[in-house]
Structure 1
Amino acid sequence: MKFSLFNRTAGLRAGQHAVVTGGSSGLGLALSRRLATRGLSVTLVARDKARLATAAASISDAVPSAVIDYIAVDVADSEALAAAFDSLTQDLDILVNSAGIIREGYFEGLSTSDFHDVMDINFFGTVNTIRATLPRLKQRRGRIVNIASVAGLTGVFGYTPYCAAKHALVGFTAALRFELEPQGVRVQLVCPGEFESPMVEDLDRTRTPENRRHTLTIPKLRIDQLADATVAGIDSGQRLVVPGAQTRVLVTAQRLVPSVANAIAQQRISAVYQGPDR
């Protein structure tokens, strides 16, 4: 099964420089390690300086020749982010927006601040980072890779803040592509299903039974599977990368036969439904 492709010009190349937000853990770290293996220099971006240092050291241990740097900054803080990138001395070829958080629960139990927190990181964090780096990317005719989610293509029980932010990111990416591709900047979107990560491990301790049942319609991908598929999709120039065969089947079913996909989801949820008033 194939999705629309951007023109297959030069892929990832040794000597390029990539910035990866959310680079201190999870998918961001796994992608950074693979880019370093390919000979790219990588700058990790996240909030926690100590975790960034640990992440950078882990990449250097795995890839002794790697050129790794890091910037400790909150992507939700547009002014601090702009100042941080003003001090960056390297050219920029690739921006990977992987920073993200999850808030899960029944809508009635989630606060307004939960919605703001998720939107600030998952959506506005991406907008802020692109604003701060776009002049460099245009100069190098580089590429932007936004990490969204299958939750940005469909609805998921318990993910009202997360789905809202990821749907916004999907629409933003589609619109931005029309503006930036004529200027020579590739824009790619990655929509993974759920995968093994520290964030998901934390979520597993508190998630609602309905969310657990709904999300596991698709088995979790291992982080190495997801990272390999993501890098392959970036390298080939795919506009939309949906890692995992079962995930692609679900996305296609949701698009072509939504009534069937929704019926399956509702059946799975109803089997364990407790609701907010349990």
Structure 2
Amino acid sequence: MSNWKHGAPRVAFISGGGSGIGLRLAGALLQEGARVAIFDLHVDESVLADLRGKQAHAGGWVESYTVDITDPVAVTTSMDLATAEVGVPDFAINCAGILRTAEFSELAFETFEQSIRVNLIGSRNFAAGALRHMQPGGHLALVASLAGICGSYTHAAYSASKFGVVGLAEVLRTELTPKGIDVSVVCPGEIHTPMLEEERRTGRLVTEVINEFAGVMPVDKAVDGILAGLRKRQYMITPGFRARLTRAIARKAPGLFHRIIDGKVRQGLAREQRQAAGSKAKS
């Protein structure tokens, strides 16, 4: 296990800790002896029981707080309570997020707005609530996405919100560095989580074809890569070589990246047409 640059967190605040990446991070931190406060719309009792089984082995402690990340007052109130009950956070990571996909011409305003409210405004609310209590030496992390570096087909709402999270992290890093607080922004490619499974079930094949370029990571391997970056307090964390390569091309050679993606779009649309023709022939 890698060493933490400034020691393992003593008190960790994690939003979206009831499932996916947030849940895996909560379990890992508990096993390292952290006191963990989870903020989520709902956390199953079975999930909490499993986490409390991990805390028994390392002296950690976990509490769950029901909160809507889009409600700034509720987030602040919950974090104030967690600080009183669990402790002052020296590490806080916002993992709460949603993914809604559709071509922009078919994307309802309400869906676009919901993505911005959960992913971007939620990040703002989480950061504001945590920073009320975080002291110098602390570490704030926001989970964005590779979609916050480069756009993809049907990801208008998701990419817009995640580009915003990356921009917010850039400003927070600039403002908080003089105060002794480190900032990380996590920009992974696709990870095998329930959110990805839902996209595969309801989304477009062309999106899947495009995203093949950066690859899909198993959740355990992705979380290991995220933790490795967090331990080093890296600013931008992208687990996986292919995802990092995609990020580098998108940022440093946008013209090349656009040519690659345009080719993948043509390939994906062609596959969709063949699939549709095959389905029509069978019927």
Same-fold status (TM-score > 0.5): yes
Post-superposition offset of 1:63:
4.5
Structure 2 counterparts to residues 56-205 of structure 1, below 5 A: 56-65=48-57, 66-88=60-82, 89=84, 90-137=87-134, 139=135, 141-205=137-201
Take 1:234 and 1:101, find their aligned partners in 2: how far apart are those partners?
22
Q: Does 1:48 align with 2:45?
A: no
SS in 2 for 1:187: strand
Q: Does 1:225 align with 2:217?
A: no
1:71·1:84 contact (CA, 8 Å) conserved in 2? yes
Post-superposition offset of 1:22:
0.6
Q: Does 1:18 align with 2:15?
A: no
Cα deviations by residue, 1:253-273 (Å, 9 ceiling, x for unpaired): 122222222111111111232
Post-superposition offset of 1:140:
5.2
* 1:5 aligned residue: none
Letter in 2 for 1:30: R
2:35·2:62 contact (CA, 8 Å) conserved in 1? yes
Letter in 1 for 2:99: I
Post-superposition offset of 1:126:
1.0
SS in 2 for 1:146: strand
The higher radius of gyration belongs to: 2
Work out the number of aligned pairs and report it. Answer: 265
| Structure 2 CA distance for partners of 1:268 and 1:9, relative to 1, 3 Å | closer
Take 1:100 and 1:166, find their aligned partners in 2: how far apart are those partners?
10
Letter in 1 for 2:51: I
Take 1:165 and 1:101, find their aligned partners in 2: how far apart are those partners?
10
Segments of structure 2 that go 5 or more residues without pairing to the other structure are 277-283
Match of 1:259 among 252, 255, 262: 255
SS in 1 for 2:202: coil
SS in 2 for 1:273: helix
Post-superposition offset of 1:9:
8.4
Take 1:110 and 1:82, find their aligned partners in 2: how far apart are those partners?
31
Take 2:7 and 2:115, find their aligned partners in 1: how far apart are those partners?
30
When normalised by structure 1's length, the TM-score is 0.90
Take 1:182 and 1:272, find their aligned partners in 2: how far apart are those partners?
47
* 1:4 aligned residue: none
Cα deviations by residue, 1:200-221 (Å, 9 ceiling, x for unpaired): 1111111112111111222210
What is the RMSD of the two structures over their aligned residues, measured on CA atoms? 1.8
1:155·1:163 contact (CA, 8 Å) conserved in 2? yes
Letter in 1 for 2:52: S
When normalised by structure 2's length, the TM-score is 0.89
Letter in 1 for 2:8: R
SS in 2 for 1:271: helix
Q: Single out whichever of 145-154 and 215-224 deviates more from structure 2.
A: 215-224
Match of 1:29 among 23, 32, 40: 23
Q: Single out whichever of 250-259 and 72-81 deviates more from structure 2.
A: 250-259
Letter in 2 for 1:37: Q
Letter in 2 for 1:99: A
Q: Single out whichever of 60-69 and 97-106 deviates more from structure 2.
A: 60-69
2:4·2:231 contact (CA, 8 Å) conserved in 1? no
Take 1:22 and 1:56, find their aligned partners in 2: how far apart are those partners?
13
| Identity between Structure 1 and Structure 2 (%) | 26
Take 1:121 and 1:19, find their aligned partners in 2: how far apart are those partners?
17
The higher relative CO (CA closer than 8 Å, separation ≥ 6) is in 1
| Structure 2 CA distance for partners of 1:141 and 1:135, relative to 1, 3 Å | farther
Structure with the largest fraction of helix: 2
Post-superposition offset of 1:246:
0.9
Post-superposition offset of 1:54:
2.9
